[in-house]
Amino acid sequence: MASYKTSDLKKGLKVQIDGEPYLLVEVDFFKPGKGNALYRCKMKNLVRNTILDRTLKGGDELEIADVEEIDTVFLYNQAGSFVFMDNESFEQYELTAQQVDDNWKYLKEQMPIAMVLFNGNPLTISPPSHVTLKVVETDPGTKGDTATNVTKPAKVETGAEINVPGFIKEGNVIKVDTRNCTYVERVSMD
């Protein structure tokens, strides 16, 4: 079975421990005065959504997870289930709200989504790093707040609430960074 050496470990890799897939969330390297280098790893179990902290010594190895990433498209949300379709096989996958996690904030119909499968079963999804969403509800900006960094909450078409600058109005289309749920810019829809 293929494996990663500790020197290859970095955030975002998928490893397998005791037959279950984990996503490396944090990898911290440190070298004590004497002895081997140590790697503190924080890993998220992709099946149970739990966090595992483990310290590895230099030279240790972790098995590469037997996961597959496929390109899908988001079809619809029905009663807390999110339905996606594989772009190549047209097979449909249904994920629970827990599997989708906070990514529901960015899901629009027909949006391309990367999905991770483990033994043919869907585990998680990754939306594009930036999405454009229409603002459907926000308070009007206060006069005189244009020169400062004033933000206000805005509800977008997916139902999510995102902090936006004071000049954003209902009907505006905004670009959102899905990695940290932040406003990037207003998009002109000419």
DSSP labels, 86-97: ETTT--EEEEEH
For 134-164, write each residue's pLDDT tens digit.
999 998 876 665 556 788 999 999 999 999 9
pLDDT at res. 49:
80
pLDDT at res. 142:
65
Using DSSP, how many helices (H) and how many strands (E) does the chain show? Answer: 1, 16
What confidence category does residue 102 fall into, taking pLDDT thresholds of 50, 70 and 90?
confident
Q: Where in the chain is the domain with CATH 2.30.30.30?
A: 3-64
Q: Where in the chain is the domain with CATH 2.40.50.140?
A: 67-126, 130-187
Cα–Cα separations (whole angstroms), residue 52 to 20, 26, 32, 149, 179: 12, 11, 22, 39, 22
pLDDT at 166 over 70: yes
pLDDT at res. 85:
96
Looking at domain 3-64, its CATH class is: mainly beta
Fold of 67-126: OB fold (Dihydrolipoamide Acetyltransferase, E2P) (2.40.50)
Q: Give the global pTM.
A: 0.73
Looking at domain 130-187, its CATH class is: mainly beta
What confidence category does residue 6 fall into, taking pLDDT thresholds of 50, 70 and 90?
confident
Residues in the chain: 190
Dihedral sign computed on CA atoms, order 76, 78, 84, 90: negative
